[in-house]
């Protein structure tokens, strides 16, 4: 479970991405990643997620929590060997600057 600091700096840009890169290799082969980040920070990690993880799912927090915090949860399976990248196409299949869309999640009945 990774819940990184939410911030930026001049050297590393998004700290969430730096945190993900630092701890990716700490997972066991086939291990599950649960990564909680702001929606706006997800694009910074798209290349690493696409190359080092499989079975990636992204869910936004349900309203009203998403409206307040703009967070998403990424669940993925760590792969030991990075996926080869096509130099003509980003790993996510679209420009990495594109807005990332997330699947809404409804609240469980109480």
Q: What is the pLDDT along the chain (110 residues), one digit of tens a residue?
A: 656 667 777 766 888 888 899 889 898 888 999 999 989 888 889 989 999 999 999 999 888 988 898 999 999 999 877 776 654 444 444 444 444 445 555 444 44
Separation of alpha carbons 2 and 21, rounded Å: 11
Which tokens in the block code for residue 16? 């969430």
pLDDT of residue 10: 73
Separation of alpha carbons 90 and 21, rounded Å: 18
pLDDT of residue 40: 87
| Cα→Cα distances 22→5, 7, 27, 48, 61, Å | 13, 16, 11, 11, 25
Contact assessment for residue 83 and residue 34, using Cβ atoms and an 8 Å cutoff: no
Contact assessment for residue 30 and residue 13, using Cβ atoms and an 8 Å cutoff: no
| Cα→Cα distances 64→1, 4, 57, 80, 110, Å | 23, 22, 21, 37, 15
Tell me the pTM. Answer: 0.69
Question: Residue 8's beta-bridge partner residues?
Answer: 14
């Amino acid at each position: 479970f990774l819940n990184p600091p939410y911030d930026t700096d001049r050297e590393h840009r998004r700290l969430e991405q730096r945190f993900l890169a630092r701890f990716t290799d700490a997972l066991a082969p086939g291990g599950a990643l649960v990564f909680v980040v702001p929606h706006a920070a997800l694009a910074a990690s798209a290349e690493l997620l696409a190359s080092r993880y499989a079975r990636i799912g992204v869910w936004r927090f349900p309203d009203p929590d998403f409206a307040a915090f703009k967070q998403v949860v990424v669940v993925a399976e760590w792969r030991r060997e990075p996926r080869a990248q096509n130099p003509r196409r980003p790993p996510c299949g679209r420009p990495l600057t594109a807005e990332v869309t997330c699947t809404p999640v409804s609240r469980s009945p109480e």
